[in-house]
Amino acid sequence: MKLLLCPKCGDVKKLQHRKTTCKCRKSWGQYQKDGLQADVYGEALVIGLDNATVLAGITKHSYYLVDNITISAWIMGEPARNVEYHRDVEI
């Protein structure tokens, strides 16, 4: 899973197949048709979430009532394998 992070306004949004924009509209992005690659624009950063650890955390919370579960996440640098950053495109 990928989250769009705007360093200007601090807004975080889940990337989707349609255009996803932050509150201040300085960052936006969307998944490509393959559902894996993403294009992001403006000042956006992308947070990658490890789907397996998110699902394991949900399971632990739901079935075992465990709180404060750790998941794996990272900022996807430039260049990134599944993200294309478009810094020179006006919004």
How does pLDDT run across 35-57, given as a tens digit for each residue?
Answer: 999 999 999 999 999 989 888 88
Q: Model's pTM, two decimal places?
A: 0.82
How does pLDDT run across 56-88, given as a tens digit for each residue?
Answer: 888 887 777 777 888 899 999 998 999 999 988
List, in order, residues 6 or more apart from 43 with CB less than 8 Å away: 6, 7, 8, 26, 27, 87
Q: Where are the domains of the chain?
A: 2-86
Residue by residue, what is the 3-state secondary structure of the chain?
CEEEECCCCCCEEECCCCCEECCCCCEEEEECCCCCCEEEEECCEEEEECHHHHHHHHHHHHHHCCCCCCCCEEEECCCECCEEEECCCCC
Which single residue is written with the structure tokens 């079935």? 63
